[in-house]
A = this chain, B = another copy of it.
Amino acid sequence: MATGLTETAQIRDWILREAAVLPGDFLRVDGFLNHRVDPAFVALAGAALARAFRGSEVTCVFTAEAAGNVIAYETARQLGAAALYAKKGAARTMARALTCRIRSPTKGVEQDLCASADYLRPGERVLVVDDFLHQGTTSAALGAMVGEAGARLVGFGFVIEKRPSGGRKALEPFGVPIVSLAVVDRMDPATGEIVFAPG
């Protein structure tokens, strides 16, 4: 799916300039995306994701707390939609919780993702977003919760996809567009090289 060339080119340049490749297939982006956050980068990524799904009449941008929060917020803001954050762990104060148990591939622990059915309603048009598409575990769980809520999933959007991790395969059964702004084909911790997939 086409996204604005200028925005995605800027995003890839930013990653090449500021991300670090660490051992263990780890792409360190915590200086601008998920620990210290540069609003200029997030606004650019949100604009590109909003542009990709502008025609999909999105009412709700759904992510899992906490890494996806600002990307979901910025995408929602630019689409005129709401943002919804699935919470991790038991939701003691949550009314009418929809729950999905996942096993985090990065942390190796099982945890529940919860969202209130009060805020994920039948008839909504939902875009699932996250900072990374890795194995797709979390996003597939969010996609399943959208179905459980009786809402309509319209797509998946990611800032960075690590293609070798195979997350796209896990999401293809949903039959909706999957947009990644930067698809990393391979990276080398010895040289720091990052190679994007063409397109």
Contacts and interface: CB of A to CB of B under 8 A. Distances in A.
A26 B93 contact: yes
Interface residues of A, number: 34
Contacts of A60: 36
A69 B131 CA distance: 14
Interface string A11-36: 00000000000100010101100111
Contacts of A26: 93
Interface stretch (A79-87, A140-148, A167-175): A79-87
Contacts of A28: 93
A70 interface: yes
Contacts of A36: 60, 82-85, 116, 119
A69 B66 CA distance: 8
A42 interface: yes
A31 B84 CA distance: 9
Given A84-B35, A94-B35, A77 B119 contact: no
A191 B99 CA distance: 31
13 contacts: A26-B93, A30-B94, A35-B84, A35-B85, A35-B94, A35-B116, A36-B84, A36-B85, A37-B76, A38-B82, A39-B82, A42-B77, A66-B85
